[in-house]
Amino acid sequence: QPRVFSGVQPTGNLHLGNYLGAIIKFVALQHEHECLYCVVDMHAITVPQDPQELTRTIREVAAAFIASGVDPKKNIIFNQSQVSAHAELAWILNCTARIGWLNRMTQFKEKAGKDRENASVGLYVYPVLMAADILAYKATHVPVGEDQKQHLELARDIAQKFNNDFSASIARHGYGEAFFPQPEPLIQGAATRVMSLRDGSKKMSKSDPSDASRINLTDDADAIAAKVRKAKTDPEPLPSETAGLEARPEAENLVGIYAALGGISKQDVLNDFGGGQFSAFKNALVELAVTKLGPIGAEMKRLVADPGSIDKILGDGAERADAIARPNLAAVKDIVGFVRR
Ligand code: AQP
């Protein structure tokens, strides 16, 4: 049966890329599937975090899910560190994954930078923890942005190697031919890779030192307007066909953002704005972004003002998540040959 899992790191500055690449899809999927949406705090500490700020941002990400329309009763909203199966399964999968596989991960190379010797071991094995996040629930579908594609492929490789390595034991314990499903990435829509507003070759990112490079979900209308109006563009008018966006990354990015926020295609956007100047298009984009994001930001602020209520939602979610993950982890321990209590 289909089951959706996805996570967002509580590393501050939740932005339009996180929203359009992931959170907006969480909202759509909740109507059809059982969904688990996780604040992946254990991933966040793979790079240094201020403890008080981490506590605040864990609640803020949960608030962003809810404010965007994810129903905490229907779906399971929780934070990773409250469900010990993630860490336990990650260890077992660390022994399945190969060093050569991890050495190919581009995100580690980017995040570790030049001083790789000094990166945390956690940052290196991050993709294995991500595989454990998904496989602990035997999730079948994972809505993510384009940047997570390689990690999803690794999760599929790990699932397959585990199934192969332990095939005899899996069959002996009555699980048939495969224990873990192959999780499918869901990377869809007009904005699977939202780019920086200052540089069309860089992804919009929480850690970009320039706040003008991203629209934060908590930005007010004035900030959104200022950032969109200042967004880098080129001097040509907008094309009338999507083919004309090729080699124009900044234009393509803004058209993609408009399409994703408006729930229309890029061609629809160009039907309305093709041939026109950027200034008119930017005005319309400001209006759309403020209409869509304004209420989300306001609701996030309201929700985080009551941390007790958010903690209750996270605690309830963790219990429900644990009830799914615990039997799966017990089965994995049997398959591996561990003696259980
Ligand atoms: N620019 C983006 N466009 C589309 N999707 C994006 N995502 C992130 N950036 C973009 C998607 O958002 C989800 C949560 O991401 P994350 O918080 O787990 O980590 P990240 O990808 O490392 O996010 P950032 O903003 O880029 O953080 P830093 O600056 O720390 O590296 C994922 O589904 C991701 O694909």
Ligand 1, residues at Cβ distance < 6 Å: 8-9, 11, 17-18, 20-22, 144-145, 147-148, 192-194, 203-207
Do 247 and 228 reside in the same domain of the chain? yes
pLDDT in tens, 51-86: 999 999 999 999 999 999 999 999 999 999 999 999
pLDDT in tens, 218-259: 999 999 999 999 999 999 999 999 999 999 999 999 999 999
Element (H, E) at 312: helix 307-336
User: Which residues does 324 contact at the CB level (< 8 Å), separation at least 6?
Assistant: 36, 136, 137
Tokens 């967002």 found at: 8
> How many structural domains comprise the chain?
2
CB neighbourhood size of 111 (10 A): 16
pLDDT of residue 257: 98
Q: Do 14 and 148 sit in the same domain of this protein?
A: yes
16 and 144 both lie in a single domain: yes
**200 within some domain:** no
**In this structure, are 143 and 262 located in the same domain?**
no
Q: Would you state the pLDDT for residue 1?
A: 86
Average pLDDT over residues 106-125: 96
Considering the chain, what percentage of its residues have pLDDT values greater than 90?
Answer: 98
- Domain span including residue 233: 211-302
Ligand 1 centroid to 237 CA: how many Å? 30
- 132 shares a domain with 225: no
Q: Report the separation in Å between the CA atom of 275 and the middle of ligand 1, taken as the mean of its atom positions.
A: 32
Atom of ligand 1 nearest to the CA of 203: 1
60 shares its domain with 177: yes
Mean pLDDT of the chain: 97
The answer to the question of residue 9 being in a domain is yes
Question: The domain that contains 277 carries what CATH number?
Answer: 1.10.240.10
Mean local confidence (pLDDT), 160-177? 97
Looking only at the bridges linking them, the beta strands covering 141-143 and 34-39 are: unpaired
Kindly state whether residues 161 and 75 are assigned to the same domain: yes
User: pLDDT tens digits, residue range 46-56?
Assistant: 999 999 999 99
**What is the Å distance from ligand 1's center to 128 Cα?**
17
Is 18 part of any known ligand binding site? yes
What residues act catalytically? 111, 203, 206
Q: Is residue 247 part of a domain?
A: yes
- The whole-number average pLDDT for the span 260-280 is 95
- Examine the domain organization and report whether 295 and 324 are in the same domain: no
Our measurement of the distance from residue 341's CA atom to the centroid of its chain's CA atoms, rounded to an integer in Å, reads: 35
Same domain, 242 and 319: no
Q: Are residues 36 and 178 in the same domain?
A: yes
Q: What is the mean pLDDT of residues 12-35?
A: 96
In the reported structure, the alpha carbon of residue 106 is separated from the centroid of ligand 1 by a whole-number distance in angstroms of: 14
- Predicted ipTM of the assembly: 0.96
Minimum-distance ligand 1 atom for the alpha carbon of 47: 30
Give the model confidence (pLDDT) of 285-328 as tens digits: 999 999 999 999 999 999 999 999 999 999 999 999 999 999 99
pTM (2 d.p.): 0.96
pLDDT (average), residues 252-276: 96
Mutation pick for ligand 1 pocket among 147, 192, 194 (CB with most ligand atoms within 8 Å): 147
- Please tell me whether 204 is known to bind a ligand: yes
Does residue 135 sit in the same domain as residue 28? yes
Give the domain CATH number at 312.
3.40.50.620
> Which residue, among 143, 111, 112, has the nearest Cα to 18 in the 3D structure?
143
Q: Are the C-beta atoms of residues 178 and 170 closer than 8 Å to each other? A: yes
Atom of ligand 1 nearest to the CA of 147: 35
Q: Does 205 map to a domain?
A: no
